[in-house]
Amino acid sequence: MVSRVTDDYVAMATAGCAAICEPAFWAGFDRSSPQGFFDYFRQLTEHEPKRAAKFGVPHYCWLCINPKEAEDVKLATEVIALIPQFLAAPTVLGIGEIGLNKNSRNELKVLELHVDLAARHGQLILVHTPHLEDKLKGTRLILDVLKNDRRIQPERCIIDHVEEHTVKLVLDQGCWAGMTLYPETKCTAARAVDILECYGNERLWMNSACDWGISVPLAVPYAALEMRRRGHAAAAIDGAIFGNPLRFLSQCPKFKPAS
Ligand SMILES: [Zn+2]
């Protein structure tokens, strides 16, 4: 939402969005210092919830240094050290979106630092998986890191951007799986509903890519229309787009969507 205009808040409120959960992400450019992240964390925890409240939508966030900026381990270590002071904020859901971008050794090290941070502070975890040809290998590496840390409970982790070839690995480990919807590239609404139909909607949910690039804040409501077009029952649609996120996010006691 930090890259979006108020019209998007109006559209989401009108479509019935009960809460917005914004991950800390890449801003479209690499930040040059830990101070840049400090201000970004303030924007996510102080300013954006106030802006969203003007449109009646509760705003929550996740905090981390995202994988795309995690190649510099020294910078990442300094940014991670800033995070604990923000964790008590009333709208912080957990640590994310952490994960891998190019599956490099440094990214893996920073992922482990984030997982340790989440474990020490009892936080939920939101994970970004790499795109295209790096996705399968990256998803396996991420799942291994989570499995190797005995403090981590898989049901408190959501692995995002799953596709047909990674969703089963994630569900089999006991984690939640997120499908990020894009208008044309990557996972479209039609593909996401195909995946739901193949793998059930026990621990699966959909979210909208919503950033500085070509993306659609209403992608989840559009996917609901796709489910309706295919004849899914209203209760099943509600479970997929509202009930499941609610079940996962309610593991954080701070999470209170609009009723
Ligand atoms: Zn991501």
- pLDDT tens per residue across span 93-113: 999 999 999 999 999 999 999
Distance 187 CA to ligand 1 centre (A): 12
| Helix/strand/coil percentages in the chain, nearest 5 | 50, 15, 35
Assess if residue 238 is contained within a domain. yes
End-to-end CA distance of the chain: 21
Assess if residue 254 is contained within a domain. no
Distance 97 CA to ligand 1 centre (A): 6
pTM: predicted TM-score of the whole model, two decimal places: 0.97
Which tens digit of pLDDT belongs to each residue from 137-166? 999 999 999 999 999 999 999 999 999 999
Report whether pLDDT(132) > 90. no
pLDDT value at position 237?
A: 96
Choose the weakest-confidence range: 25-29, 91-95, 113-117, 195-199: 25-29
Assess if residue 1 is contained within a domain. no
Question: Which residue carries 């190797």 as its tokens?
Answer: 148
Assess if residue 103 is contained within a domain. yes
Report whether pLDDT(221) > 90. yes
Residue 29, Cβ density class (10 Å: 0-12 exposed, 13-18 middle, ≥19 buried): exposed
Distance 139 CA to ligand 1 centre (A): 12
Assess if residue 117 is contained within a domain. yes
Report whether pLDDT(189) > 80. yes
Total domain count for the chain?
1
Distance 200 CA to ligand 1 centre (A): 23
Contacts 24+ apart (CB under 8 A), 238-245: 239/201, 240/196, 240/201, 240/204, 240/205, 240/206, 241/205, 241/206, 242/18, 244/176, 244/201, 244/203, 244/204, 244/205, 245/21, 245/205, 245/207
Distance 36 CA to ligand 1 centre (A): 20
Q: What residues are paired with 157 via a beta bridge?
A: 125
Beta strands in the chain (DSSP E): 20-23, 59-63, 92-99, 124-128, 157-159, 176-181, 204-208
- Mean predicted confidence (pLDDT) in 227-231: 98
Distance 231 CA to ligand 1 centre (A): 30
- Mean predicted confidence (pLDDT) in 193-198: 96
pLDDT value at position 213?
A: 87
Assess if residue 172 is contained within a domain. yes
Closest CA to 227 of 238, 243, 242: 238
pLDDT value at position 201?
A: 84
List phi, psi (to 5°) of 30.
-80, 130
Return d(Cα 7, Cα 11) in angstroms, integer.
6
Residue of 66 and 186 predicted with greater confidence: 66
Distance 128 CA to ligand 1 centre (A): 4
List phi, psi (to 5°) of 35.
-60, -35
Distance 210 CA to ligand 1 centre (A): 10
Distance 56 CA to ligand 1 centre (A): 26
> What mean pLDDT is reported for the chain?
96
Assess if residue 236 is contained within a domain. yes
pLDDT value at position 120?
A: 98
Task: Report the CATH number at residue 59.
Answer: 3.20.20.140
pLDDT value at position 183?
A: 85
Return d(Cα 48, Cα 156) in angstroms, integer.
25
Which tens digit of pLDDT belongs to each residue from 1-55? 999 999 999 999 999 999 999 999 998 899 999 999 999 999 999 999 999 999 9
Closest CA to 101 of 66, 72, 64: 66
Distance 230 CA to ligand 1 centre (A): 28
Question: 42: domain range?
Answer: 6-249
Q: What are the C-alpha distances in Å from 122 to residues 102, 128, 253?
A: 28, 19, 12
Give the whole-number percent of the chain exceeding pLDDT 70: 100
Assess if residue 257 is contained within a domain. no
